[in-house]
A and B are shown apart, each in its own frame.
Chain A
C-alpha cells in the first residue's frame, strides 16, 4: 500500500518536474542569452530611434528607462526564488507543457476605458497589447499610455516582450518594475488593483488560474453533493452506497466531531457553512496538489481567498453573538474591575485577531507547502546549472524526486488537515458566540 502510493507520487512528481522544467526553460531563458544576442534583434534600430523620442516623453516619466532594454544580467546562475514565486502566484492562462497554454477568459476593467474582455490568447503569448493590456510573466498587466486596440509589442529577446528592472521606491526599498517596449519606447506595466496597491487604475476580473480552480471545485462539490442528495432522496433510510458513502464519512465527521462538540445544541444552523468551508478548502487544496493541468494552482495559498473565508466567518460569528458573548468581551463577568477594564480592549481585539489567524494559518500552510515542493524541484535546475549540465540535472532529479514525492504525500495530509482546522476553529468561534453561560452566572452569585 505505502509502496504503491510512493510510486504513484513519484510519477506525479516526475510530471511536476517535467511541467516545471518546461516552464523553467520558457521563463528563465534570459539567463542564457548574452547581451550580444539581444543586440542582433531587428528591434534594435527602432530602439535607437526611441531613445531619442524618449526625451520628448520625459514629462511622462518614462525617460528614465530610455533605450528600453533590460539591464544585463550579471550571473547566469539559476535563481530559484523568482521561479518559485512565479509558480505560487496567480496566472491569466494555464500552462500545460512547453509553449502550450490553456486559454482563460480575461476581463480587465479599466477605470477610464471600461471593460476589455477576451481570451488570454488575444495577447499572443505577450506579443500583442489589447487596449493597453499586456500579458507579462503569465499575468495581465496594464501598460500606461499604450494606444487602444491591438498593437504589436517589440520583442525584447526571443519570445519575450517584457522585462524586469529593479528600482528603489520612495521608501528606499528595492522593487521590481516590469516594462514593455512599443515602437522602441518603454512603458511601465501596472499590476491590477490590490489592497496593497489601491492606486492602480484597473481591476482584473479575469477568470485566472485560481478562479478557474475554484470554479472546478464548485463544479466537483456541486456534482458530488447533488448526486449524494439525490441518492438519499431516492433511497431513504437505506445504507449509503458509492459517492453517498464517501461523502457521508466527511459529512458525519464534520457534524459529529466538529460542529456538535464545538457549537453545541444550535449546531444545525451552521452545518451548511461549515460544510461549505471544509469542502471548498479541501477541494481547492487537492486540486492545487495535482502537478499538471488543470491542477497546480495555489488557491488557498493566496491570501485573497483566505481573506474572504475569514471575513465570512467573522461576519457569521459577529452576527451570531448573543448577549453573553458581548458581555464577555466588553465587561467580563466575575473578575475585579481593573481586570475588566484591562480585558475589554484585549477581548475586543480578539474579535478581529481570531479570523486573522484563520486566514494567515491557511494561507501560510498552503503557500509553504507549494514553496517547499517547488524548491525541491528547483534543485534540478540548480544542480543542472539552469539546463547547461545534463548530468547535474540527472543528479538533481535523483535527489529531488524522493523529496518531492514525500512532500506531495505530506501535502495531501496538510490539505485535509488545514481544511479540518479552518472548519474546526470556525466552529469553535461560532460556538463561543452562541454559547449560554448560565453556569458562570450561577457561580458568581
Chain B
C-alpha cells in the first residue's frame, strides 16, 4: 500500500523539530519565568496567608475560650470573695453586736448594781432619816407627853424609870 509513503506525520521534519523546540522553549523559559512562576508564588502566598489566617483565627478562638474560662474563674473567685467578705462582715457585725451586747449587759448590770447600791444607800439614808425623824417626832411627842404628865414629881420619877428601862431594850 501507499499508506506508509503518504503518512507524513510520522516523519520527523527538521524544520518542525526546530520550530517546536524554539516555541516550546519560549513557553517554558520566558512565559514560565515571567508568568507561571509569579502565579505559583502568588498562589502559594495566598494559600499560606489563608492557612495563617485560619491558624490565627483558631488561636484567637482558643484564646477567647481561655479568656472566657479565665473570666469565669475570676468571676467565680470574685463571687467567692464576695461571699467570704459578706460572711466576714456578718461575722464582724455579729461579733460587734455580741460584744456591744455584752458590754451593754455588763454596763446595765453595773448600772443596776450601782442603782441597787444607791437604792440601798438611799434606803439606808431614808431609813436613817425616817428613824431620825421618828426619833425626833417621838422625842417631840415624848417631850410634850412628859411635859403634860410630868407636872408632878412623882410622875417624873416614874417616867424616868420607865425610860431607863426602855433604854436597856435598845
Where the two chains meet, the residues of A that have a C-beta atom closer than 8 Å to any C-beta of B are 81-82, 85-86, 88-90, 107, 139, 166, 173-176, 191-197, 203-208, 210-211, 214-215, 217-218, 221-222, 225-226, 228-229, 232-233, 236-238, 247-248, 251-252, 255, 268, 271-273, 275-276, 279-280, 298, 301-305, 307-309, 312, 363, 367
Interface-centre pick from B13, B19, B45 (highest chain A CB count, 10 A): B13
Residues of B close to A251: CB separation below 8 A: 36, 39-40, 43
Main secondary structure of the interface of A (DSSP, over half): helix
CB pair A205 B5 closer than 8 Å: no
Contact with A along B23-38 (1 / 0, CB 8 A): 1101110011111111
Per the 8 Å Cβ criterion, residues 10-24 of B in contact with A are 10-21, 23-24
Q: Which partner residue on chain B sits nearest A244 by CB separation? A: B39
Q: A205-B18, A237-B46, A252-B43 are in contact. Are A90 and B2 (CB under 8 A)?
A: no
CB pair A276 B40 closer than 8 Å: no
**A-B CB contact pairs (8 Å), 12 listed:** A173-B4, A176-B2, A218-B23, A225-B36, A255-B43, A271-B40, A273-B28, A275-B36, A303-B10, A303-B11, A304-B16, A308-B21
Q: A81-B3, A252-B43 are in contact. Are A272 and B28 (CB under 8 A)?
A: yes
CB pair A232 B14 closer than 8 Å: no
Q: Which partner residue on chain A sits nearest B49 by CB separation? A: A237
Contact of B43 among A208, A214, A248 (CB under 8 A): A248
Residues of B close to A238: CB separation below 8 A: 46
- Kindly state whether residue B6 has any CB partner on chain A within 8 Å: yes
In the complex, A139→B15 CA distance in Å? Answer: 13
| B22 CB, nearest partner CB in chain A, Å | 9
CB pair A255 B40 closer than 8 Å: yes
CB pair B2 A303 closer than 8 Å: no
Q: Which partner residue on chain A sits nearest B46 by CB separation? A: A237
CB pair B9 A237 closer than 8 Å: no
In the complex, A327→B46 CA distance in Å? Answer: 40
Q: A81-B3, A211-B19, A221-B27 are in contact. Are A236 and B13 (CB under 8 A)?
A: no
Q: Which partner residue on chain B sits nearest A222 by CB separation? A: B31
| B8 CB, nearest partner CB in chain A, Å | 4
